[in-house]
Structure 1
């Protein structure tokens, strides 16, 4: 069978197809859909929420549950406070199946950080962790809203599975940043998100 001559146009077509394939692989990174990156960082040990104030009775002080309380020693003003749970929420699925818990922790030195506990989502290109002021909605209507308002990027997602922590920049106003999104910056879509509900 005679071989067709390779003209300059043929080489151009081959080169364009090769560049297109390389760009497509880089842009979509399809292998990430079948691979996982696991992260197991040490997370804060936060105390359970403080019990309600004891109420005085003729027989002494009792808790809200009725159990008697022992007189506690006075708190030391300069004792460092342990990590405190500020807010938390459960992830819901957006473009990819996502589960786990997001929680904001205030550390003993007054700094804040976001912890993702038991995160499970899909891997993907250019995934970021965002705090946002947008409400979390289920279904397709909630996929693309997180870049519509105020948001703070905490960094690239360290792994699509496991426990991980992200420092929240100092002077970040957390009052109105009430949600967390695993945000695919390349395609402007949320893989999953959690609404943060204040604790205590």
Structure 2
């Protein structure tokens, strides 16, 4: 009986279609990324507030001779649990970088770091808004855990781009986002 089934073309066509479907599904969804992490620990321009005080040599320098946090915010969760701090740091040369501090989110297919003009909204209503207005992709997410830096191109209007999202480009959904509020001078 089995030998007779294997000689039928419909059985072979069905087997090939099933194998192709399984392969395409694995490629598209990449389910193993939900249980794997990639940790990145790049050196940050400004030590996180919980860190020890900067060395005395830095304290004696004028503020303009040190990198400064100009905007920052806490991540909120969207499609996946996400936590950490996003901050824009102005370097002594006037350039800007986005730093993700203590980021923790799920791994996923095709994750990107986006600056956006869209407000950060909690809940399901905030999952898909970041591709609606102006946005700037800073690159692929380097890792789903740890500290990382992304250069912001010169001339970027940071007054317009007031939020950051960990964006899954494949499924057009935010894993998590943070509003970037201006730092108060003090």
TM-score, reference length from structure 1: 0.82
Aligned to 2:168: 184
Mark the runs of 5 or more structure 1 residues left unpaired by the alignment. 49-72
Q: Distance in 2 between matches of 1:84 and 1:91?
A: 20
Name 2:29's counterpart in structure 1: 28
- The equivalent residue for 2:146 is 162
- 1:141-156 matches, within 5 Å, as 141-156=125-140
How far 1:2 sits from its partner (Å)?
Answer: 5.1
- Are 1:10 and 2:11 matched, yes or no? yes
1:113/1:24 CA distance change after superposition, 3 Å: same
- CA-to-aligned-CA distance 1:117-159 (integer Å, 9 cap, x gap): 0000000000000000000000000000000000000000000
**What's the CA shift for 1:46?**
6.0
- Cα contact 1:47–1:83 (8 A) shared by 2: no
Choose from 79, 84, 104 the match for 1:95.
Answer: 79
Partner of 1:40: 41
Partner of 2:115: 131
Specify every segment of 5 or more residues in structure 2 that has no aligned partner in the other structure, as ranges.
Answer: 50-59
Partner of 2:52: none
- Secondary structure of the equivalent of 2:93? coil
CA offset digits 1:10-67 (Å, max 9, x no partner): 211111111110000000000000000000000012699xxxxxxxxxxxxxxxxxxx
1:61 match: none
C-alpha distance in 1, partners of 2:68/2:157? 17
2:56 match: none
Equivalenced residue count is 172
Runs of 4+ that moved beyond 3 A: none
- Separation (CA, whole Å) in 1 of partners of 2:113 and 2:177: 10
Tell me how far apart the structure 2 counterparts of residues 47 and 80 of structure 1 sit (CA, whole Å). 19
Contact 2:86 2:101 in 1 (8 A): yes
- Of stretches 138-147 and 11-20 in structure 1, the one that deviates more from structure 2 is 11-20
Structure 1 contact 87–105 (Cα < 8 Å) conserved: yes
Secondary structure of 1:27's partner?
Answer: helix
Query: Greater CA radius of gyration, 1 or 2?
Result: 1
Q: Which residue of 2 aligns with 1:83?
A: 67
Q: Secondary structure at the match of 1:171?
A: coil
Contact 2:86 2:178 (C-alpha < 8 Å) held by counterparts: yes
> More helix per residue: 1 or 2?
2
Q: Residues of 2 paired with 1:9 and 1:105: CA distance?
A: 62
